[in-house]
Structure 1
Amino acid sequence: MAFQQAQMQALGLSFTRLAAVDISSLPQDIDEAYWNGWERPMRPAERACLISHRRAWEEIAEGTEPVLVLEDDAVLSDKLPALLGSLEDRRDLDHVTLETRGRKKLLAKDSIGSMPLRRLYQDRSGAAAYILWPSGAAKLLARSARHGAIADAVICAAYELASFQADPALAVQLDRCAHYGLPEPITTRSSISDVSSKREKPALSFRLRRIKAQLRMGLRQLGNIIRAERRQVALRREDFAYLEHFQGKWEPVSRPEMR
C-alpha cells in the first residue's frame, strides 16, 4: 500500500482503495458447483481474487465513467496519465488492458489512429492493470455469473468485449520488473509457489472444458488471421525510470500467488 501511494503521487493520480476479499472472508452462500465450472479446480486465493474483481465490476457497472482497476502489485508507466486523459470521454470501448507478461497476444496489425492502442482479439493473461467501462463491466459480470474462473480467464474469454491493448505496455506486475529490466521497488515472493505440492489429475469434465477453451482460442485466431498477429507486447524502460527513486525503500514481501 505504501508503494502504491508513492507511485500514485509520483504520477499525479488520485485513487480509491477497494478492500480485497481474502480466503477468510469468502462468501459462504456460493454453491460449490459454481467454482467447479471452469477448466480446473480453483484455489481459495483465486476464488477470493475473482470476488474482489467482481465487486469492482459491480461498482463500475453502476456508474457512467471508465475506471482504472489496479491490483496491489501493479507497476505503472509515466505515460499512463496522458492515456487516461485521452480516454476519459470515449464511449466506444469496453476494456483496455495496460500490462504485458511475456506471453503472446492476438493484436490488430494497425493501431487506433495516433493512439497507442490496438484492438485486442485474444489476451493470454493479465488482470493487474486495466481500464473498464460500465458496458464492459456489465459484460464481465454476466460472463462470470455462469461459473467461477480466475479473473484473468474471465476477461480473456470475454470475446463480447470491445477490448484493446496499450502498445507499448503501460504496466507490469512487481514480480516481472526484473524480467523486463525495470527498477524493482519491492521484491515479492509467493507464499504458495515456494511450497511444492503434488496435484491430482483433473477430472474428465475439467479436461474437456480445457480442450473446448483451447479450440475456441484457435478458432478466434483463425477468424482474425488477416487483420491480427500473435506477438508479445513490449514496453519502454525509460517510461518507468521514476521507479529508481523507490529502490530499496521497502522490505521484500511474501504474498499469496493469485494466478
Structure 2
Amino acid sequence: MKVLIINMATATDRMAFMAAQMDHFGLDWARIEAITPDTLTPPADDPVWHRWQRPLRVTEMALCASHMAAWRAVIAADVPHLILEDDATLAADLPAFLAGVAGLTDVDHISLETRGRKKVLGRVLHSAAPMLRLWQDRTGSAAYIAYPKGAKLMLDHALRVGGPSDAIISSTYGMRSYQAVPALAVQLDICAQYGVPQALETRSLIDAVEKPRLPVSGMAALGFRTRRIWGQIVMGWRQLRYRGTRLHVAPARDWPKITL
C-alpha cells in the first residue's frame, strides 16, 4: 500500500523522521506539500470555513485543505493509501496490518492512531485484520487508511462544511470506518505518555495561531452554537443506536527506535 505524507516545506526535521520510518518499514511513499495559511484555497474568508461548530484557526483550515489534497490523490489513483501527518510514529506491526487490509472492499476508512480519548467501537474483530468497527471517533487525523470511496465521502463533506481535519473524518458518517486494535500510531507529542520511543521533539503547528473567540451574540454565534449542539446529539445517538463500547484504544507494544 502506498503512503502519502503531509509535510510543510519548512518542517525538514519532521520529513527526515518520516523518511527514516519509511525506509525502516520498506514502504512506498510520496510527499504531499502541506497547505499553509498563505497558500490556503479556498481563502480563509470563504464561507466554507465558517460552517463548523466553532470558529477555526487558519492553521486548522490549512491542515484540512492538506488532507483534502491527499483525498483527491486517493480518488485519482483509485486504490487505498495510508495517509500520514509528518509527526506520526508507527508501530512495528504496521506492514503486516497494511498487507492484510489492502485488498478489502467492505471498508472505507481505518484509523490507526490513539490519542487519549475514548472511541465508540464495535465488539467483533474484522476477519482480515485486528480492527473493530469504529462508530464514533473523537480526535486524530495523523494516521489513517483512506479507500477511494471513503476519500470521496470525506472530500464532499469537507467541501460542504470545512472543519478541523480530524472532525471532518470522524463526522463523515456514511463511511464504513474501522479502528486498528491495538493502535499502530501515535503522534510525536504524546509518545512519552504511551511509553513510545520519541525520535524528535515537536510542538503543535496548529496551536501556533491563537484560537478565535466564539461570537457572543448575533446570527453567527447562534449558528455555531446550534451546530455544536446538533453535533453532540448525533454523537450520542450513534452510541445508543449501534450499542458500541466506549473504549480507550491502547497502543501496540512493539515500536521501532528510529534514529536520525
Q: What is the TM-score of this pair, normalised by structure 1? A: 0.88
Question: What's the secondary structure of 1:145's corresponding residue?
Answer: helix
Question: What's the secondary structure of 2:33's corresponding residue?
Answer: coil
Measured in 2, the distance between the counterparts of 1:200 and 1:153 equals 18
Q: Identity of paired residues, percent?
A: 45
Measured in 1, the distance between the counterparts of 2:225 and 2:52 equals 10
- Of 213, 238, 251, the residue aligned with 1:220 is 238
| 1:211 partnered with 2:229 | yes
How far is 1:97 from its partner? 0.5
User: Which residue number corresponds to residue 37 of structure 1?
Assistant: 51
How far is 1:63 from its partner? 2.2
Aligned pairs for 1:152-167 within 5 A: 152-167=166-181
- Of 162, 165, 169, the residue aligned with 1:151 is 165
Question: What's the secondary structure of 1:23's corresponding residue?
Answer: coil
Question: What's the secondary structure of 2:121's corresponding residue?
Answer: strand
Paired residues in the alignment total 242
Measured in 1, the distance between the counterparts of 2:187 and 2:39 equals 25
2:184 partner letter = L
1:64-90 CA-to-partner distances (Å, cap 9, x unmatched) read 211010001011011111111111211
- Of 59, 66, 79, the residue aligned with 2:73 is 59
- Of 64, 79, 84, the residue aligned with 1:70 is 84
User: Which residue number corresponds to residue 251 of structure 2?
Assistant: 235
Question: What's the secondary structure of 1:46's corresponding residue?
Answer: helix
The 3 A distance-change label for structure 1 pair 79 and 191 is closer
Moved runs in structure 1, 4+ residues, more than 6 A? 194-198
1:175 partner letter = D
Aligned pairs for 1:111-122 within 5 A: 111-113=125-127, 115-122=129-136
The 3 A distance-change label for structure 1 pair 32 and 93 is same
1:165 partner letter = Q
Measured in 1, the distance between the counterparts of 2:210 and 2:57 equals 15
2:81 partner letter = V
| Worse overlay, 64-73 or 202-211 | 202-211
How far is 1:192 from its partner? 6.4
1:195-215 CA-to-partner distances (Å, cap 9, x unmatched) read 877845552211111011000
How far is 1:30 from its partner? 7.1
| 1:4 partnered with 2:22 | no
User: Which residue number corresponds to residue 193 of structure 2?
Assistant: 179
The 3 A distance-change label for structure 1 pair 190 and 53 is closer
How far is 1:142 from its partner? 1.4
2:151 partner letter = A
2:40 partner letter = L
Unpaired runs of at least 5, structure 1: 250-259
Q: What is the TM-score of this pair, normalised by structure 2? A: 0.87
